Amino acid sequence: MLKLLACGAWACAVTLLSGYATLVWSVGEPGLAAAHDQGFAGLEFKKTKPINVPMIAEGEVQGYVVAQFVFTADAATLRKLAVPPDIFLLDEAFRALYADEKLDFRHLEKYDITKLTKNLPAKVNERLGVALVKDVLVQEFNYVSKDEMKR
Protein backbone atom coordinates (compact mmCIF):
# COMPACT_ATOMS: atom_id res chain seq x y z
CA MET A 1 0.00 0.00 0.00
CA LEU A 2 2.84 2.37 0.87
CA LYS A 3 4.55 1.59 -2.45
CA LEU A 4 1.34 2.45 -4.32
CA LEU A 5 1.07 5.84 -2.59
CA ALA A 6 4.74 6.56 -3.26
CA CYS A 7 4.32 5.74 -6.97
CA GLY A 8 1.25 8.01 -7.16
CA ALA A 9 3.11 10.88 -5.47
CA TRP A 10 6.09 10.35 -7.76
CA ALA A 11 3.84 10.41 -10.90
CA CYS A 12 2.15 13.63 -9.72
CA ALA A 13 5.50 15.28 -9.00
CA VAL A 14 6.94 14.32 -12.41
CA THR A 15 3.79 15.60 -14.19
CA LEU A 16 3.86 18.92 -12.33
CA LEU A 17 7.58 19.45 -12.88
CA SER A 18 7.42 18.59 -16.58
CA GLY A 19 4.47 20.98 -17.06
CA TYR A 20 6.35 23.73 -15.24
CA ALA A 21 9.52 23.11 -17.27
CA THR A 22 7.56 23.22 -20.54
CA LEU A 23 5.91 26.49 -19.56
CA VAL A 24 9.21 28.12 -18.57
CA TRP A 25 10.94 26.85 -21.70
CA SER A 26 8.21 28.07 -24.12
CA VAL A 27 7.92 31.52 -22.52
CA GLY A 28 11.67 31.88 -22.46
CA GLU A 29 11.97 31.70 -26.29
CA PRO A 30 12.52 35.35 -27.25
CA GLY A 31 12.72 34.77 -31.01
CA LEU A 32 9.17 33.53 -31.54
CA ALA A 33 7.46 36.08 -29.33
CA ALA A 34 9.51 38.99 -30.67
CA ALA A 35 8.86 38.02 -34.29
CA HIS A 36 5.14 37.74 -33.62
CA ASP A 37 5.00 41.11 -31.84
CA GLN A 38 6.99 42.93 -34.53
CA GLY A 39 5.15 41.43 -37.51
CA PHE A 40 1.56 41.91 -36.43
CA ALA A 41 1.66 44.66 -33.83
CA GLY A 42 -1.23 47.06 -34.30
CA LEU A 43 -2.86 45.09 -37.12
CA GLU A 44 -6.37 43.73 -37.13
CA PHE A 45 -7.76 41.02 -39.41
CA LYS A 46 -11.24 41.53 -40.90
CA LYS A 47 -13.23 39.08 -43.01
CA THR A 48 -15.48 40.49 -45.72
CA LYS A 49 -18.84 39.16 -46.81
CA PRO A 50 -18.79 36.99 -49.94
CA ILE A 51 -19.46 38.78 -53.23
CA ASN A 52 -21.06 37.34 -56.35
CA VAL A 53 -19.72 38.79 -59.59
CA PRO A 54 -21.81 37.95 -62.68
CA MET A 55 -19.84 36.60 -65.61
CA ILE A 56 -21.37 37.62 -68.91
CA ALA A 57 -20.48 35.90 -72.18
CA GLU A 58 -22.36 35.61 -75.46
CA GLY A 59 -24.83 38.25 -74.30
CA GLU A 60 -26.07 36.47 -71.16
CA VAL A 61 -25.03 35.61 -67.63
CA GLN A 62 -23.09 32.35 -67.64
CA GLY A 63 -22.58 32.15 -63.87
CA TYR A 64 -21.03 33.93 -60.93
CA VAL A 65 -17.57 34.23 -59.45
CA VAL A 66 -17.94 33.95 -55.68
CA ALA A 67 -15.12 35.60 -53.76
CA GLN A 68 -14.46 36.31 -50.10
CA PHE A 69 -11.48 38.21 -48.75
CA VAL A 70 -9.64 38.79 -45.48
CA PHE A 71 -7.68 41.99 -45.03
CA THR A 72 -5.29 43.39 -42.46
CA ALA A 73 -5.59 46.98 -41.37
CA ASP A 74 -4.11 49.30 -38.79
CA ALA A 75 -6.30 48.82 -35.70
CA ALA A 76 -6.01 52.38 -34.39
CA THR A 77 -6.95 53.94 -37.73
CA LEU A 78 -9.73 51.38 -38.23
CA ARG A 79 -11.44 52.48 -35.02
CA LYS A 80 -11.35 56.15 -36.09
CA LEU A 81 -13.10 55.62 -39.44
CA ALA A 82 -16.79 56.45 -39.73
CA VAL A 83 -17.29 54.04 -42.65
CA PRO A 84 -15.94 50.48 -42.56
CA PRO A 85 -13.33 49.79 -45.26
CA ASP A 86 -14.99 46.43 -46.08
CA ILE A 87 -17.45 48.22 -48.36
CA PHE A 88 -14.69 49.86 -50.37
CA LEU A 89 -12.68 46.64 -50.60
CA LEU A 90 -15.68 44.70 -51.91
CA ASP A 91 -16.50 47.45 -54.40
CA GLU A 92 -12.94 47.51 -55.75
CA ALA A 93 -12.85 43.69 -55.93
CA PHE A 94 -16.18 43.63 -57.79
CA ARG A 95 -14.98 46.26 -60.27
CA ALA A 96 -11.67 44.48 -60.82
CA LEU A 97 -13.24 41.06 -61.41
CA TYR A 98 -16.15 42.32 -63.52
CA ALA A 99 -14.00 44.46 -65.82
CA ASP A 100 -11.04 42.07 -66.17
CA GLU A 101 -10.88 40.84 -69.77
CA LYS A 102 -8.24 38.23 -68.87
CA LEU A 103 -10.52 36.47 -66.36
CA ASP A 104 -11.51 33.13 -67.86
CA PHE A 105 -14.26 32.16 -65.47
CA ARG A 106 -14.34 28.60 -66.76
CA HIS A 107 -10.67 28.16 -65.75
CA LEU A 108 -10.10 30.16 -62.57
CA GLU A 109 -6.89 28.28 -61.80
CA LYS A 110 -5.20 30.39 -64.49
CA TYR A 111 -6.30 33.72 -62.97
CA ASP A 112 -3.58 35.94 -61.48
CA ILE A 113 -4.87 36.30 -57.91
CA THR A 114 -1.55 37.77 -56.77
CA LYS A 115 -2.07 40.76 -59.03
CA LEU A 116 -5.60 41.22 -57.67
CA THR A 117 -4.52 41.06 -54.02
CA LYS A 118 -1.66 43.51 -54.63
CA ASN A 119 -3.85 46.07 -56.44
CA LEU A 120 -6.80 46.01 -54.02
CA PRO A 121 -5.05 47.59 -51.00
CA ALA A 122 -3.61 50.41 -53.12
CA LYS A 123 -7.00 51.23 -54.65
CA VAL A 124 -8.86 51.06 -51.32
CA ASN A 125 -6.26 53.23 -49.57
CA GLU A 126 -6.44 55.74 -52.42
CA ARG A 127 -10.23 55.98 -52.10
CA LEU A 128 -10.10 56.30 -48.32
CA GLY A 129 -7.24 58.80 -48.39
CA VAL A 130 -5.47 56.85 -45.63
CA ALA A 131 -2.89 54.05 -45.78
CA LEU A 132 -5.18 51.70 -43.86
CA VAL A 133 -5.32 48.34 -45.64
CA LYS A 134 -1.96 46.58 -45.45
CA ASP A 135 -2.66 43.24 -47.10
CA VAL A 136 -5.53 41.37 -48.75
CA LEU A 137 -5.85 37.59 -48.55
CA VAL A 138 -8.22 35.35 -50.48
CA GLN A 139 -10.54 33.26 -48.32
CA GLU A 140 -12.67 31.87 -51.16
CA PHE A 141 -12.56 32.15 -54.95
CA ASN A 142 -14.95 29.93 -56.93
CA TYR A 143 -17.07 29.91 -60.04
CA VAL A 144 -20.68 28.74 -59.95
CA SER A 145 -22.35 28.25 -63.32
CA LYS A 146 -25.94 29.18 -63.99
CA ASP A 147 -26.82 25.49 -64.43
CA GLU A 148 -25.35 24.59 -61.03
CA MET A 149 -27.43 27.32 -59.41
CA LYS A 150 -30.63 25.87 -60.82
CA ARG A 151 -29.94 22.52 -59.17
What pLDDT, in 10s, does the model give residues 68-110?
999 998 888 888 888 888 999 999 999 998 888 877 777 777 7
Helices and strands per DSSP (H, E), number in the chain: 6, 4
- Of the CA atoms within 13 Å of residue 14, those in its CB half-sphere come to 6
End-to-end CA distance of the chain: 70
Report yes or no: 63 and 143 within 8 Å, Cβ to Cβ: yes
116: number of Cβ within 10 Å:
20
If you average pLDDT over every residue of the chain, what do you get? 83
Task: Give the Cα separation of 56 and 62 in Å (integer).
Answer: 6
**pLDDT at residue 42 tops 90:** no
